[in-house]
């Protein structure tokens, strides 16, 4: 068995990428280097290592079109873990996976009897082939006896009539301590930004953003006059909300001045709006422009071409 890739551990959690010896089986319509139009299944198996060997304590599968995301949640009396997986087809085949792990463990009690917790947050970016598996060790390695592991193995399937994700639970976890959620939403967006002075556009910019991934956009003078940026927008598309019409996108951002000092014009501002609709923010109190002028930032979020076509 070959091994490679990621190993990240703390007192609370350990996530590792493990390459198995299984052969990859391509569906009939697959072409080398190109993602297929079929579905993908993630087999999610929780295994307990004991003195008597391995024991499967839960088994489930998440199935959906490429780009299906899922959460694996674990909770007992002292420990809570939320593992979120955002998946996309990789250009050269396989999957690009962003794994976000949040853990919380009861550490003890204070002198006043109040509970004390340890918390940890991790972010991992993986390139995952269809002959590999992600292995979560919620309570760390700590030897084999009594160790819990959650194994996640992807598999390609032929196309299906439905685009909706499905969850199949073949063996529920004892007491429902492990739960699974799945969603399919757009991942790729184009954000357009414009800076206005008394209603006249003085700077603008446009950039592509990946869901839940921060990125920077430079707003340059309108009309291409001058190479210096008027402002820098650090923005994250935090979530997509299905709704009547095309849906809504929620953003959070910082707006910084384009000078060397990068003075904050807006810090931790947020908004939510329907795709293609404007979000308008008054910057008159923070933007260092001409005195007495009204300054606005206008944002517009649309789907990027790939996600617009898939819908």
Q: What is the pLDDT of residues 140-167, one digit of tens each?
A: 765 555 678 899 999 999 887 777 899 9
Give the chain's radius of gyration (CA, Å): 23
Q: Are 219 and 202 in contact (CB under 8 A)?
A: no
Boundaries of every domain in the chain: 7-183, 188-310
Q: What is the pLDDT of residues 277-288, one digit of tens each?
A: 999 999 998 887
- pLDDT tops 80 at residue 206: yes
- pLDDT tops 50 at residue 11: no
Higher pLDDT, 147 or 205: 205
Q: What is the pLDDT of residues 49-67, one digit of tens each?
A: 877 788 898 999 999 999 9
- pLDDT tops 50 at residue 33: no
Q: Are 61 and 48 in contact (CB under 8 A)?
A: no
The residue among 107, 62, 99, 67 whose CA lies nearest residue 83 is: 99
Higher pLDDT, 37 or 105: 105
The CA distances from residue 177 to 58, 151, 311, in Å, are 10, 16, 35
- pLDDT tops 60 at residue 14: no
- pLDDT tops 90 at residue 301: yes
Q: How confident is the model at residue 45 (pLDDT cuts 50, 70, 90)?
A: very high
Q: What is the pLDDT of residues 231-245, one digit of tens each?
A: 999 999 999 999 888
């Amino acid at each position: 068995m070959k091994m490679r890739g990621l190993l990240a551990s703390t007192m609370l959690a350990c996530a590792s990428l493990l390459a198995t010896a299984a052969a990859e089986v391509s569906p009939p319509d697959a072409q080398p280097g190109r993602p297929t139009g079929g579905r993908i299944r993630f087999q999610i198996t929780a295994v307990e290592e004991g003195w008597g060997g391995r024991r499967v304590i839960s088994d489930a599968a998440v199935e959906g079109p490429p780009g299906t995301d899922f959460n694996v949640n674990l909770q007992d009396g002292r420990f809570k873990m939320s593992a979120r997986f955002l998946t996309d087809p990789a250009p050269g085949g396989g999957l690009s996976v962003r794994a976000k792990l949040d853990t919380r463990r009861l550490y003890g009690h204070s002198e006043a009897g109040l509970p004390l917790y340890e918390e940890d947050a991790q972010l991992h970016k993986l390139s995952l082939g269809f002959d590999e598996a992600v292995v979560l060790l919620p309570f760390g390695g700590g030897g084999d006896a009594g160790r819990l592991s959650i194994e996640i193995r992807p598999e390609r399937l032929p196309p299906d009539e439905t685009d909706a994700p499905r969850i199949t639970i073949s063996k529920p976890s004892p007491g429902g301590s492990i739960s699974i959620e799945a969603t399919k939403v757009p991942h790729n967006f184009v954000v357009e930004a414009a800076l206005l002075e008394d209603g006249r556009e003085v700077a603008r910019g446009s950039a592509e953003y990946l869901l839940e991934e921060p990125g920077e956009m430079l707003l340059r003078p309108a009309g291409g006059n001058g190479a210096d940026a008027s402002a820098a927008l650090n923005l994250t598309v935090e979530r997509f909300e299905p709704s009547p019409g095309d849906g809504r996108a929620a953003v959070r951002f910082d707006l910084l001045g384009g000078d060397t000092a990068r003075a904050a014009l807006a810090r931790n501002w947020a908004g939510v709006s329907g795709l293609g609709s404007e979000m308008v923010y008054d910057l008159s109190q923070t933007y260092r422009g001409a005195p007495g002028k009204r300054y606005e930032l206008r944002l517009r979020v649309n789907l990027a071409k790939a996600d617009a076509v898939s819908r």
